A and B are shown apart, each in its own frame.
Chain A
Amino acid sequence: MKFLDEYRDRGIGEKLLANIRRDSHRPVSFMEFCGSHTVSIFKYGLRQLLPSHIHMLSGPGCPVCVTAAQDIDRVIALAGLSGVVTVTFGDLVRVPGTRSSLQQSRAEGSDIRIVYSALEALDIARANPEKKVVLVGIGFETTAPTIAASLLSARKEDLRNYSVFSLHKLTPPAIRAILAAGETRLDGILCPGHVSVIIGTAPYRFIVEKYGIGCAVAGFEPLDMLLAISQLVGQAEAGRPEVAQSYGRAVRPEGNLAAVAVMNQVFEIAAANWRGLGNIPASGLRLREAFTGFDAEKNFAIPLSDSCEREGCLCGAVLRGVKTPLDCDLFGKVCTPVSPVGPCMVSSEGACAAYYQYGDRHG
């Protein structure tokens, strides 16, 4: 397919790899923020092809994975309320909460539906005027504008039985939290391509200016990623960090201003709870007051419970790049995609699922 296949050319990939091997002299660790990058790195075997002293660490860029245990429990509680239809993107239903999961709630009779788009959630609301349809809004800046757009449509149509439970999270504050904590020495960040389609490249300046390391925005095809990794290697070797990018066909420096405007019209920045990173100020999105009627958090009494992570699950540390899935005693034994203990094994873009599916089970 156009704009995908051309960026999978093996001959050019081999040239890029040869140049990376030529230019890379010292051990470096780069974090790929985005779970889709983690999957691409495994899918195309890049870990095996890169020099062994270039370490790629998975980051927190998996929306299902970073949803805190307490928020999972709140969604489960919401789904149990009478007259509510809970609409969610796929993987979330299988994430174990403290005592249950959405999947279990569904088996017990709660009306929980899986969609691929907020547009389908709107259709469900239109078709069920007697029900209260709540979309669980998870995702980063890529997805948040689409949820915002669905709320603009709902307001225009006066679709009053539609609301959103916003658990949206922002990328730059999470990168900042990881760099500020300094638990892992990082020499560069592979920044997410589709988040950057929306926010542009300027929000990553702080990585260079405050933390003195380089970053590169990358697409998801092998040539996009190899070019970005070669940019990171070049910056690290020369000691000249900058905000580079290898995804110019999709990412403008200023981002998608129309999408940002829609997002800002509906949402405002708020603190958010992250699995692994805790509560980070100004790292999430909540609905603005003008959209109170569509804010599930304000319109339903969603009980808070004592939530806790599953014992032994290292998902939080994996999301910070401090541990790899192979460090976890549960990995591949107690915790598998069939019976996952933590969300990093549930989500198709979770680091544990990628390590498991693509065969790196033994280091």
Chain B
Amino acid sequence: MCLAVPARVKSISGKTAEVEIGGTIYRANILLTPQVKVGDYVLLHTGYAIGVIDEDEAEQSLKMFREIESAHEIS
């Protein structure tokens, strides 16, 4: 029910955006994410963009994941 999927914004017209998920184009209402720009990734939930993905934060988290040393490697 709280499922939301990252979708890339292709174009914006008024309160509606065309977004792409895995090659398929969907329409998304962007009333809840007024700051969204073309090229951003939004979280699409029941036809509405409910948030914008912070790509810098995503990159940092992936860097942190890649730098994790495991207990095996340490011991």
A residues within 8 Å of B by Cβ? 1-4, 6, 9, 12, 14-16, 18-19, 21-22, 34-36, 61-64, 89, 91, 116-120, 138-140, 142-143, 145-146, 149, 152-153, 192-195, 197-198, 223, 227, 246, 248-252, 256, 258-259, 262, 347, 349
Q: Note all chain A residues with C-beta closer than 8 A to B47.
A: 116-120, 146
What residues of chain B have their CB less than 8 Å away from a CB belonging to chain A?
1-6, 8, 21-22, 29, 31-35, 41, 43, 45-48, 50-51, 53-55, 57-58, 60-62, 65-66, 68-73, 75
Asked if A223 contacts B43 (CB within 8 A), the reply is no
A192 CA to B45 CA in the complex, in Å?
14
Check B1 against A146 for contact (C-beta < 8 Å).
Answer: no
**Contact A143 to B58, CB < 8 A, known contacts A12-B65, A117-B47:** no
- Select A258's contact among B5, B33, B66, beta carbons within 8 Å: B33
A interface secondary structure, majority: helix
CB proximity of A3 to chain B, nearest CB, Å: 4
A13 CB to nearest chain B CB (Å): 9
User: Are B33 and A256 closer than 8 Å at their CB atoms?
Assistant: yes
Tell me whether A249 and B68 are in contact in the complex, defined as CB-CB below 8 angstroms, given that A116-B46, A139-B1 are known contacts.
no
Residues of chain A within 8 A (CB-CB) of B51 are: 197-198, 250-251, 256, 259
Compute how far the CA of A1 lies from the CA of B35 in the bound complex, rounded to whole angstroms. Answer: 23
C-alpha gap A252/B35 in the complex (Å): 14
Are B58 and A262 in touch, CB under 8 angstroms?
Answer: no
Tell whether, in the assembled complex, residue A15 and residue B70 are in contact, meaning their CB atoms are under 8 Å apart.
yes
Q: Which of B34, B35, B48 makes the CB contact (< 8 A) with A145?
A: B48
Question: 9 closest A-B pairs (Cβ-Cβ)?
Answer: A117-B47, A15-B70, A22-B71, A249-B58, A3-B6, A197-B51, A259-B32, A146-B48, A18-B71
